[in-house]
């Protein structure tokens, strides 16, 4: 099978998102073992002017919707989260959404123009650039930073927890 817009991106999101959900399980269990409220983790940051953990996970899931933007389908309504179960639900909603995207909905659309709202601004991308040069770098940035926050604050995780399960 030659690589396509779909096969180079959707299976990647579907590798990393369940891994992030698994990291949340381990974070919850770790906090409980240390007898602190697991939801305190959601406010932790690596620097005062970086997003806290909850926002890192939220940004990762928002960027993972890019295949849906290219497909031109209605996106799921991802709401802000204040607990670990809510973050896990947000990830699950994103995974379900991505599983519903068919390769034919985005393959061959490399040069389609896609308009995306970024904060207050509208920005136009070629679909291939949106996916491989904007959404995936942002997705990886926020999943990694979420992992780094947990590691920095002592949650017992290893690189495999980040990497998840490669397709067979």
Residues 6+ apart with CB under 8 A from 33: none
* Site size with a copy of itself, rule: CB under 8 A: 39
Binding mask 57-76 for a copy of itself (x = CB under 8 A): --------------------
Please state the separation of Cα 162 from the chain's center in Å. Answer: 12
Round to whole Å and give the CA distance between 16 and 120.
28
Count CB atoms within 10 A of the CB of residue 117.
9
Residue from 74, 119, 121, 159 binding a copy of itself (CB under 8 A): 159
Position 4 contacts a copy of itself (CB under 8 A): yes
Round to whole Å and give the CA distance between 71 and 61.
17
Residues forming the site for a copy of itself (CB under 8 A): 1-5, 7-8, 11-12, 15-16, 46-47, 50, 108, 110-111, 128-129, 132-134, 136-138, 140-141, 144-145, 147-148, 151-152, 154, 159, 162-163, 166-167
């Amino acid at each position: 099978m030659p690589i396509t817009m779909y096969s180079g991106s959707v299976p990647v999101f579907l590798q990393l998102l369940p891994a992030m959900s698994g990291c949340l399980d381990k974070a919850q269990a770790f906090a409980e073992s240390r007898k602190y409220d697991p939801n305190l983790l959601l406010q932790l940051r690596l620097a005062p002017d970086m997003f806290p953990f909850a926002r890192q996970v939220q940004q990762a899931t928002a960027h993972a919707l890019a295949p849906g933007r290219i497909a031109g389908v209605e996106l799921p309504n991802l709401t802000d989260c204040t607990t670990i179960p809510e973050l896990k639900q947000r990830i699950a909603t994103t995974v379900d959404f991505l599983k519903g995207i068919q390769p034919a909905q985005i393959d061959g659309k490399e040069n389609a123009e896609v308009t995306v709202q970024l904060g207050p601004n509208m920005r136009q991308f070629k679909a291939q650039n949106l996916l491989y040069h904007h959404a995936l770098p942002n997705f990886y940035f926020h999943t990694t930073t979420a992992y780094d926050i947990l590691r920095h604050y002592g949650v017992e995780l290893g690189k495999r927890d980040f990497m998840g399960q490669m397709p067979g």
